[in-house]
Amino acid sequence: MLGEQLFSLVKSIEHDFAGKVTGMLLDMDRTEVLHLLESPDALKKKVSEAMDVLERAGRMF
């Protein structure tokens, strides 16, 4: 399943908030999500962006 694959990769980058970040990424276009599965650099960038959004929203603490 796409979500499980993505979660596994996200968890290796951001363990504590892997579920939340994965959910955020799964809201993106499916084609872009598939690209993230194939491109570690693109995934790292999107995870970083998602963490920035969470931090600004105050949901981390």
The predicted structure's pLDDT at residue 49: 98
Please give the single-letter amino acid code of residue 41: D
The predicted structure's pLDDT at residue 58: 87
> Is 61's pLDDT higher than 70?
no
> Is 60's pLDDT higher than 80?
no
> What tens digit of pLDDT does each residue of 4-42 get?
999 999 999 999 999 999 999 999 999 999 999 999 999
The predicted structure's pLDDT at residue 59: 63
Exposure letters 4-35 (e unless 16+ CB within 10 A, then b): eebbebbeeebeebbebbbebbeeeeeeebee
pTM above 0.85, yes or no: yes
Domains in the chain, CATH or no CATH each: 2-57 (1.10.1900.10)
